[in-house]
Structure 1
Amino acid sequence: MSKSLHKKLLVGMLLVTVIPIIISTIITYQSTSETIEKNLVNSNQQLMEVGMDNLVYYFRELDQMSLSWTFDEELMNDLDHQTLNFQQEQNLEYEIKNLLYQNPNISRVQYSVDNTGDTYYSERNVYLQQKQRVDDLRKKMGDRYRVFELKKYQDEVALVLHRKIVSVPDREVLGYLSIYTHVDELDAFLQRLYEEDENMFLFIESNNTISSYSSEHPNQVNDESVLSILTDSIKDNGQTSGSLDMEVNQEDGTALFHQDQYEDLSLTLVKFIPFTIIAEEAQSPLQQIAIVQMITVLVIIFFIYFVSISITRPIHRLMKNIRSIEKGDFEVKEKGVKREDELGLLEERFSSMVGRLNQLVNKEMRLQMEVTTAQLKMLQAQINPHFLYNTLQSIGTIALKHKLPDVYQRLISLSSLFRYSMDLKNKRVPLAKEVEMIDEYLYLQKGRFGDRLEYDIRCTDESLQIEVPKMVLQPLVENSIVHGIERGNQVGRIQISSQLDENMFQLEVSDNGPGFSVEKIAELQNMYKSKEVLSENRQGGIGLMNVLFRLYYEYGDSFTWTIDSEPFENTVLRLYISIKEGDVTRESINRG
């Protein structure tokens, strides 16, 4: 009778448990495959959107570079002549080479006179003048002032920007400026968007002409098989991004596309992912799911079998285990002959409870060990800065013994900067401390750039006692050095000044770097109003905006700022703070 009940229980539990698991496994397998494919498409679309933003920024930079001639009044006056004299040709040669060496990816800069066909061009270490027909350029430009194209140049693919140079104000066409750039940087953008066995295509539509570039054939341009990928389904579907199934190079797959506009320039990115790649992407997690489900089924079968023959446990072993627990022994040991009665279930539940209790005890011990380890790391973090301070001082002493006072002074400056930045006790300091720190910082930078860096600090005694957030000056000065001196050849001048007029504190930082355009200043003002936090991936303005946000959160509406910029002449950032009594140190109050 008992054996019959055992068989019925075993078969019934297997049918009730295993069959639903098998059905759920099949459903899970199908739904997971669809979800993985959808997630793959979505993640690639997001990646292509970021890549397109980088491409638009890249084309915008080239476009703005080509506009630099129009702001040079002397050059425009020279180009307005039909025939250039020797001095004018020398000026033109200088401007062409200046454009050529602004970017290492630029391989050729060419200017063609519209009426005479005189063509002046410069490549790396080469400058020539020759006659050349400009009919093709006129036809290519049409009524546009700027055209991009991809073309073969010296057995390589080059991105070429053509721009009309027109006189002001009669808008007469004087000539055509052409800038040839290597596609290395363009290719670097695309390489971030695809993996092995995937293909990436870029289509540029300018003045109704389409140029193409592909990762599969980087040395070919405008290949008919590539141009055929830009179908009407992609161009005219009314969406900026999407996907469709298609065949490329006799291989079926999914084509993801993303479109964007830069003025009249249309850019389209197409990423082709073969179905085999999608299947491989889905295969690994699906295999893992299948393995887990199979293991689960096997475990359940074993568990059912075990439960069916071990429903009851002897109660005296349960009591013995309770006594062992009272003595601190959490290990449950099963001994003797197993009984098949209802008491076995109670013993099993008890064993499970003891196991969980043992896990909790072990977990508590691990937590205590982790707390101890964390405390030790905190102690080490406090010791390491002191070790670095002492090491720098020791090196400085050695430099002084070897009669190297300049090295000694720079080590002392570096040690002071490090100590100041690592001091986390004071969030606000007198401006005098900030000025002292920035003087050390500029002293170190002066050793790096030499005569290319000039700086002047003029602060009134009253303003030096104003308390400001710590490390507010260094990001502003660092911006001036990074964007003005590191990226240029001219002498960089930085001036810092401050004054206190009644209850209004004014701090100015100015330099002669590239500064900000009117559009960039407006963008910064909009970011400040909306309190938009900049990410690291976004280029430009991070240090400045962080300083502005810190001052706003510190002073609220009592803080305002302005920017006046004349590129490569004088760019001034002014910070205004309405001073309260608590913002002036005790020393300044005693002076008053």
Structure 2
Amino acid sequence: MKYRSIQTRLITFMLAVTTIPLLLSLLITFTHTRESVKEQTVDENVRLIYQGATNLMNYLRGIDRASLSVYSDPHFLRNLALDPDNHRVVAELYATLQAIQTGTQDVHQIYLHNQLTGQSTQISSNLPRREFRQAPYRKIEEFGEGNTAIEPVHQVHSYGFPPRPADILDFEVITFYRSITNVPAPDQYALMAIDVKLDSILAICDQLYAKGEEALYLIDSSGSIIYGPDPQQRGQALDDPELMDVIAQAERGYYDGKDAMIVYEKLDLPYAPWTLVKQIPHQTLYKHSTELTSINAIIAILALFIVIFGTLWISIRITKPIKQLTTYMNQVKTGRLDVNIDVTSPDEIGILSRRFRTMMDTINNLILREYRLEIANKTNQLKALQAQIDPHFLYNTLQSIGTLALQHNVPRIYSLLSSLANMMRYNMRNSEGKVTLQDEINHVRLYLELQKQRFRDQLEIIWDVDPESLTTPVPKMILQPIVENYFKHGMNTHAGVGRISISTRIAENGRLIVVIENNGASIEEAELASICGKLETAFHHPDRNDAGEDSIGLLNVYMRLNLYSNHHAELTIENAEPHGVKVTLDIKPQESEQ
């Protein structure tokens, strides 16, 4: 009976349909991924090594072309046969060799042995030297056949000349040999040796492999290492007989060795029978496929545990009484939202769905009622806050208009009265809680026009308004109280022209940024800290109103902004440099709060 139970059958079935496909998927994925990674890596490295070999050949051909430039000099071959004590002959030979040295990349020095006169010449960054010898310092036959050959990596030397204090001999070079003949005659007139630094060769090879993960070798036909991951290996023989046998059979290719994948490419140069060899260890080659397989294995194990525990949980819970769900849902309906409903089955899902809908209706009704109460409270708070706007500027404005009326009988009085009337009309639009930023800007313009009449040349106004920001809805009367603070507390008519700037823009995140800055008196640090503290208190406790007379305008604006934006607005106040006050409003438009 135990093995015929629903629980046992369900667990056996779930394990079978889960484990077998997962294991097959892991095996197939692992095999396919390894082969795909191997094929892709080989293709990429074959192309990379081919490009590296091409770059090396182009570099060596450049040195070869530089050595051939002696044939372009019509006087060079003739000078070889002339009197070696002739200063003009010596100077022309020096000039030709120095042109090769300075015009060819990485050339350290040039050695020339004249077979006709027995004169050996050395050209380096120091003064050139020469002496008479029976034979050249090296012979081209020691390194290859034909008119050109390359001596493998070796320590730089002075070609038998006495060393000088300024000579630098602590680095390695390769030497390019060219036999200079009187073409088409095969007789050798001179032998030229060009010592080339390894900088360019090393730079080309460094780009062909990942150091620390792969290995790259540049070897000659005898297996001597020209470049390797370890600089100490240069000049030594590569100890890999299998590789040397494979290289001897083909110009390029790859094969899978015991511990690494080998990719090689020979340089197609008769005087440089070099081979580029790249070793990619299997650990590096299959690194990503192993990681992917490990991740898949972890996911498969987690899936198995989930299947096992899920099956156990479902099989145990399926035997519980269905009627218990009705009791739970009735408790939820009465308001006990923390009831732990611990019954699930196919039949009970239908009952749970209907009961859940009933419960959500109750919750939604409660939330809707609370939301309406909150809106009503906010409306009452807003009306109370709007009534706190300080009308102090009105007295000064009327006084300025009256003084102007006594002094001048001009239409300007009518304009000022119209501005004042429009401002009063704007203030009395109590039915509108929100306006566009354009309305607020227009209202502030009217206010500043009146103040401009009052202060005349002592007041400068700067506007920087982004047209895209003008349609943004904002609470009414948020800009004028901030501007008014400047005239109440910050403006000093004896300190030069007062300046107030207003700028608006839409930030990248869609928020409205309004900056109001003046050059009036700065706020004392203690007072500024007090105002910031009151703003913070107003944010967390909007029902408290402990603001003093000096900061009621800012608190008024800040509280209304948060009422309308559901606490998604920011107001910062700081001192400007060298003096003045800067107020920044950062408002999240209400329509984006969905």
TM band (smaller chain):
0.3 to 0.5
Higher strand share: 1
Q: TM-score, normalised by structure 1?
A: 0.48
Q: TM-score, normalised by structure 2?
A: 0.48
